[in-house]
Structure 1
């Protein structure tokens, strides 16, 4: 029996582009898909040490480039004490001081000029299905300078900020408005980061009893209510990403039903998917296990 993945018969592996690929927060969200040999990764990381580590650990479906992606201009890079806070934006010292430990994390150790490249100007980028991005405030600029490229993408996995940790940093509302204008909708919060407000510390533990949300990783997908406007290959890759990256069974099924409706894949794909996840799967009132 063919698996549901085999029945999709995609023309190529799902293409992931990772901007700010430095793995400071552990494995990337697409790790399982990469391990299964179902996607390629093109990563961008301008920090030399992080780039070296990525290149040394890279598998056959990965490539990493030293470009800083942005608006195409030159900017000052602020390298901070906490590697994960290095940014083109100036840390907001007053705001950071209102959060335990953050003033130290955001201390600028050195500065240097970097030349950025627009996402739309990366001629050797290749296809893009999922954009994963974590660039400490520059997300909006990259989206605005990558509209042509993102037109072909089906998902964006981005960090968003609710509290400005940098001077002039665009916040969630601005990023959300831009991605919605490009045809994406929020799908799920992949991670939510909370932090303790300074200066209180309970029993010596700065991480106890805190509720202040500062950042989140949000997955956006092309409007699932209008899948018919996408090309069949886009819908296939969205189904694969929904399953292997986000575990979103409902979105997978909607994609499969659309593909069946369009005559692109055999209707057996729905039953195969139900069998693969070990669940009784109903579409339009029809059980897939009978």
Structure 2
């Protein structure tokens, strides 16, 4: 069937790929402490729906207060399905189930205070595969202070249908026993994803050096990054028509990855699963908006 969206939100790309359903985004750790989510424009246009998870009560209340008609927010903490200690930090963005590492925090300006533990509480986690409220989804956006790998490992069945993962990765672990970039990369590659883009890179000055009077201004030291993984488009035979269509939509509307969107359209055309001459129509669309 063809998805119908409000006229103001109509996407010419929808007419080319003809997806079976609206794009579904799952946002784990939806507290918007770093600004608007990457899918903001797609959501505002009514082109996707969002299921978000946020176990911190105040952040959850704010998300629910501000939410639109295509957003649902749940209080569950996702992880490995076990019970863990929640370390509530002075900065809500550093609250999680891995204890902040005082020695590591001391290496970087500001982090000793932000990662100071205010209290500890017991929290039960759910595996993504076990959450009945989440069916098929296309984009997983996740930022949960080191526990991302747990979610990937506990969500392999549902992630098999997804086409993109937007995850925070750490190059220098700030929490005890925290998985780092290599661990996450190996898991996601094993699930059929490959790196596509660095959506953001965080560098930080090594304490106590301060550059230009700004303790946040860095030179080279990598700390964290937001990395976008996509379903391996070099193996299109392993992707369904719906996955190719959803990847085209996410690539175009969320990441401005027009080359990837074109590739997906071309694969759909080769299968006779897109409208006639879809790749060239897409190029014309881009030329007209340029």
> For 1:95-125, what per-residue CA distance to the aligned partner results, in whole angstroms no more than 9, with x for missing partners?
1001011101100011111110000101121
Is 2:106 the counterpart of 1:97?
yes
Q: 2:145 aligns with which of 133, 136, 139?
A: 136
2: CA distance, partners of 1:166 / 1:174: 15
Give the C-alpha shift of residue 276 in structure 1: 2.0
Is 2:84 the counterpart of 1:75?
yes
Give the C-alpha shift of residue 279 in structure 1: 6.6
2: CA distance, partners of 1:207 / 1:130: 31
Question: Which secondary structure state, in structure 2, belongs to the residue aligned with residue 252 of structure 1?
Answer: helix
Which residue in 2 is equivalent to 1:20? Answer: 29
Which residue in 1 is equivalent to 2:237? Answer: 228
Range with bigger deviation, 220-229 or 253-262: 220-229
Q: 1:108 aligns with which of 110, 117, 122?
A: 117
2: CA distance, partners of 1:109 / 1:246: 37
Is 2:214 the counterpart of 1:205?
yes
Range with bigger deviation, 88-97 or 203-212: 203-212
Decide whether aligned partners of structure 1 residues 11 and 202 sit closer, same or farther in structure 2, where only a CA change above 3 A counts: closer
Which residue in 2 is equivalent to 1:123? Answer: 132
2: CA distance, partners of 1:202 / 1:264: 55
1:42–1:63 contact (8 Å) kept in structure 2 = yes
Q: State the TM-score, normalizing by the size of structure 2.
A: 0.93
Give the C-alpha shift of residue 204 in structure 1: 2.9
Give the C-alpha shift of residue 280 in structure 1: 11
Which residue in 2 is equivalent to 1:262? Answer: 271
Q: State the TM-score, normalizing by the size of structure 1.
A: 0.93
Give the C-alpha shift of residue 149 in structure 1: 0.8
2:203–2:221 contact (8 Å) kept in structure 1 = yes
Decide whether aligned partners of structure 1 residues 83 and 153 sit closer, same or farther in structure 2, where only a CA change above 3 A counts: same
- The number of aligned residues is 280
Any unmatched runs of 5+ in structure 1? 282-290
> For 1:158-180, what per-residue CA distance to the aligned partner results, in whole angstroms no more than 9, with x for missing partners?
00000010000000000000000
Give the C-alpha shift of residue 4 in structure 1: 3.2
> For 1:230-274, what per-residue CA distance to the aligned partner results, in whole angstroms no more than 9, with x for missing partners?
110111000000001111111001000000000101233222211
Question: Which secondary structure state, in structure 2, belongs to the residue aligned with residue 267 of structure 1?
Answer: coil
- Structure 1 segments of 4 or more deviating over 4 A? none
2:188–2:194 contact (8 Å) kept in structure 1 = yes
**Correspondence 1:232-251 to 2 at 5 A:** 232-251=241-260
Is 2:72 the counterpart of 1:63?
yes
Question: Which secondary structure state, in structure 2, belongs to the residue aligned with residue 42 of structure 1?
Answer: strand
Q: 1:215 aligns with which of 224, 235, 243?
A: 224
2: CA distance, partners of 1:208 / 1:31: 27
Question: Which secondary structure state, in structure 2, belongs to the residue aligned with residue 278 of structure 1?
Answer: helix
Is 2:197 the counterpart of 1:188?
yes
Decide whether aligned partners of structure 1 residues 269 and 252 sit closer, same or farther in structure 2, where only a CA change above 3 A counts: same
2:204–2:217 contact (8 Å) kept in structure 1 = no
Range with bigger deviation, 86-95 or 196-205: 196-205
Give the C-alpha shift of residue 127 in structure 1: 1.5
Any unmatched runs of 5+ in structure 2? 1-10
RMSD (Å) for aligned C-alpha atoms? 1.5
